[in-house]
Structure 1
């Protein structure tokens, strides 16, 4: 609980791109830097835990030598993918959905409608999996 503005600003503070936010003697950065798929925080709070993984899991197509900025983001994506893969190996969510959005970049903020269209199939997949899981769990 607390003020929303510093929390939102901190959640957008991507290391190397935006300054961290200092709030009550804490340094706030984008949580994806350390926990890109935070479903593990929900196990004690929910009957069925759903995770939607949009971390990049593949290899980018080989083009030309990336800029230092692109290299930094590429390294961050590799680290996030490794963190996510390890978490899933240790304890997977009840339902894991991976929308086909790997061709979008981290900073494609203004392409939200295209991203949502690309994820449309995953929405239907999630509905089916959630319905089956709820039925098996006895909550339907």
Structure 2
């Protein structure tokens, strides 16, 4: 079968275009060019699922940079929590180069700010903290844009605190939906929206591969930024709450991984929610992970798409 594909690839290429490379590399590169030049609708629709992970989720920016540089087609995007923030900006058409500056605007909070007095105040207070500033940041970047106005189809996830129901946003205004999706329970007050009390979607859908398929994806690539608490030592109540949320997310992701066709997993497990000084490191690790996995991911998408490519090469098929 591989020999046949190589023959077809060589026959379809002009002599001057053939690279000096191994047969496998020649085959992959040619099929990749053939595949990515096809418009959406003539190749399998690619969905990108961006996981939850708070500050670790900034690694998604590095992943997007590598995919964009490689010309990897992304047709629909789904995000949870920080994945919803990155995903909404990207789906709105904001250049990936600009997303690198998000670390200077999205302040999840620095662990050094949570002194004993501040923690005690938070625990005893009648009101939780608010994410209204996050909504303001989103509005500053995107304006009062609605889902249908985005450059790419996008969806994000939150949870209704009253019912435990997963809420998938695919319509309406972007800003409150994304704010709800990254609204950590127990730290930030629920977002009131359409008679619901909404909190972070990572509690119910850590890797929203299912949402990407709901948006029409045939093939889903997931960027996963789970925590690693092998050497966990609790420092304060917020740190313990962070671990509880992450353990819940890890349990969910065991099954949700199976809904994705390919995975990129940046090595950001040791980055805590509030270590803002490590934001750039998280992004860089996204680049490293994506570069390492890129050849295999390209092959996986090619393999999935082969039936369509072969049909195009049949005698009498339209070019």
Give the drift of 1:53: 1.2
Aligned residue for 1:41? 211
Distance 1:48 1:116 in 2: 25
Aligned residue for 1:25? 195
Aligned pair 1:55/2:226, yes or no?
A: yes
Distance 2:292 2:217 in 1: 20
Aligned pair 1:69/2:264, yes or no?
A: no
Cα deviation, 1:37-57, whole Å, max 9, x if unaligned, reads: 11122235212101111112x
Pick the structure with greater CA Rg. Answer: 2
Distance 1:2 1:77 in 2: 29
Aligned residue for 2:302? 135
Distance 1:34 1:66 in 2: 26
Q: RMSD of aligned C-alpha atoms?
A: 2.1
Structure 1 residues 5 and 42: alpha-carbon distance in aligned structure 2, compared to 1, 3 A threshold: closer
- Structure 1 residue ranges without an equivalent (≥5): none
Distance 1:19 1:54 in 2: 24
- Structure 2 residue ranges without an equivalent (≥5): 1-170, 310-319
Give the drift of 1:23: 1.0
Higher fraction of helix: 2
Aligned pair 1:121/2:288, yes or no?
A: yes
Aligned residue for 1:96? 263
Contact 2:221 2:260 in 1 (8 A): yes
Cα deviation, 1:14-44, whole Å, max 9, x if unaligned, reads: 1011111101112221111211111122235
Distance 1:134 1:52 in 2: 15
Aligned residue for 2:254? 85
Distance 1:68 1:115 in 2: 24
Give the drift of 1:131: 1.4
Q: What is the aligned residue count?
A: 136
Give the drift of 1:62: 4.9
Structure 1 residues 16 and 62: alpha-carbon distance in aligned structure 2, compared to 1, 3 A threshold: closer
TM-score by structure 2 length?
0.39
- Structure with more relative contact order (C-alpha pairs < 8 Å, separation 6 or more): 2
Contact 1:7 1:28 in 2 (8 A): no
Distance 1:105 1:20 in 2: 22
